[in-house]
Every structure is written in structure tokens, then in C-alpha cells.
Amino acid sequence: MQKFPVLRAVRGAITVDDNTAENISRATIELLRAILDSNRIAEEDIVSVIFTMTPDLNAEFPAKAARICLGWDNVPMVCASEIPVPGSIEKCIRVMITFNLPITGNVVKHIYLGGAQELRPDLV
């Protein structure tokens, strides 16, 4: 019996210390590599990527780091700002990657790094 790809989404987040292009790029790549490695996702399996950042981050686009460092020129990506909920985590980059999973039954591993671990302690 042939198994067909299944559309899945994986979430992740990471915090940065300062609002600099270097920090945002470094953290974005660290987070993406952890998600890709943990879930065995290949670039050709990615359908789209949505990045959000808290309003205190604006020095760089996370999608730019993905294009430059990972070569994701053909991956549809968008960046947006998180809703500024009072008392919420600061300096946080979030991502949701939609991808085709080659076989059914695999468990998606969501990745939360740095201070973003407080967002989903049940998944850390």
C-alpha cells in the first residue's frame, strides 16, 4: 500500500538578547536548524514559513536570514509582528513551518529555545 505525503505544521520560538540584525539572524538560523534536524525536514518538503517577532524586534527580517544562510530562495516566507499583549515575553522570534511529511504516523517535534521555553514548558 502506497503512503502519500501528509501536510503538517511545526512551531518554534527563540529569544534574543538585543535588537540587532546579527542577533536576529543568528537566532533565526539556530531555531530553523533545530526544527529541521529534529523533524528531518528537507527544503523541498517545505510548503511555507511564517515568522513573527515581538514589537521590540525590528532590526532584521528573519526570512532574510533564512534566504541568505539556508539558501531558501524558493521557499515562500512572510514576516509579521506579534500582538503586543501586556506582560508577554519580549524579544521573541516565532516561526511556523508548513511542510509535507513523507509518511504518516510521525510525531512533529516543536522547538522552543532560550527564554521562549516559558511559552510551552510542556514541549521542552
In the block, residue with C-alpha cell 506582560: 87
Largest CA distance in the chain: 52
- C-alpha 100: how far from its chain's center? 16
Alpha-carbon span 9 to 116, nearest angstrom? 18
The residues that are catalytic are 11, 67, 79, 82, 94, 112, 120
Strand, helix or coil for residue 74: coil
